[in-house]
Homo-oligomer: A and B are copies of this chain.
């Protein structure tokens, strides 16, 4: 009764049926009589038999696997993946598993060109791309994927004309919510720390939302209040210094990322400005640190779980031939102390 690596043939022999019937019974085919099905399944269980997925894959030409390609921005040996994507991974894995798909994870460098291989080699039925939000750098890669009829979905905003399915955060709405919240709390001179360049479409969209909220309140965005800053170390600090140097008055700051915001808060305090009394601050992303800084940072949060589930639904839809549409998710304002509303 002990077989080492049992196959469906072994089960068939023990059950006294054909191998085809075993296959049907294990897949709960309605073509099999109840009694037969149960007998076969019991034997399979007793033998610790599991369907050989390699064989099933070859036969069905499906892998029931999704490849999750994480783009690693840091060239070099030390992989530092954006923690936002890392925490998405947990939810992606669960959602995929719920739909019967395995998840293959790979870290990719900008120079890598293996994307197409995943589907072409039958290792995966489709791809989820994380960290490819900056379409401008990846346009060619994405075009090549589409050219090869690869199914993929991407986390990021759709600018228009890009191939493939995407799911993104409505960054315009996020910037709008942040700015509007400051306005509602009586702030009038709201500085923007970030970028207006289309090189970073996600960040530029947050700026657009900022402008929209201001104009809605009858305020024309003021060049003097806008300072360029990236999320690199010290950029937020430097931006505040520049603002102070300009001698322009301001009573609030909207930073397009939490990293910039936290850095900026330090600069404000160092220069004798109290947050939020003198200057209210709002960030974007809700990084784990945001809740722990002093004062705790008001920020805009993207629902990671919803995003993950949307991406999985998207790629599975593409794989199974259902219609899927690219879409944007509404972010949510998380009010803490730094904006002065508490």
A271 within 8 A of B: no
Q: CB-CB < 8 A to A104: which residues of B? A: 65, 102-105
Judged by DSSP, the binding face of A is mixed
**CB–CB B102/A48 < 8 A:** no
Docked complex: A51-70 residues within 8 A CB-CB of B? 51-55, 57-58, 61, 63, 65, 68, 70
A198 within 8 A of B: no
**CB–CB A79/B86 < 8 A:** no
Q: CB-CB < 8 A to A105: which residues of B? A: 68, 89, 93, 103-105
**CB–CB A53/B121 < 8 A:** yes
Q: CB-CB < 8 A to A136: which residues of B? A: none
Q: CB-CB < 8 A to A292: which residues of B? A: 289, 292-293
Q: CB-CB < 8 A to A87: which residues of B? A: 81, 83, 86
Contact with B along A109-148 (1 / 0, CB 8 A): 0000000110011110000000000000000000000001
A61 to B4, CA, bound (A): 14
Q: CB-CB < 8 A to A148: which residues of B? A: 48
A289 to B289, CA, bound (A): 7
A292 to B287, CA, bound (A): 13
Contact of A50 among B72, B94, B97, B121 (CB under 8 A): B121
A288 within 8 A of B: yes
* A90-B79, A91-B79, A107-B90 known; A121-B51 Cβ under 8 A: yes
Docked complex: A197-252 residues within 8 A CB-CB of B? none
Q: CB-CB < 8 A to A48: which residues of B? A: 116, 120, 148
A305 within 8 A of B: yes
A35 within 8 A of B: no
**CB–CB A83/B83 < 8 A:** yes
A78 within 8 A of B: yes
**CB–CB A63/B54 < 8 A:** yes
A94 to B117, CA, bound (A): 17
A106 within 8 A of B: yes
**CB–CB B90/A86 < 8 A:** yes
A292 to B148, CA, bound (A): 47
**CB–CB A52/B121 < 8 A:** yes
A293 to B294, CA, bound (A): 10
Instruction: Say how far A224's CB is from chain B's closest CB, in angstroms.
Output: 32
Q: CB-CB < 8 A to A106: which residues of B? A: 93, 97, 102-103
The 9 closest A-B CB pairs, nearest first, are A54-B57, A50-B121, A79-B90, A54-B58, A50-B120, A54-B122, A86-B86, A53-B121, A81-B90
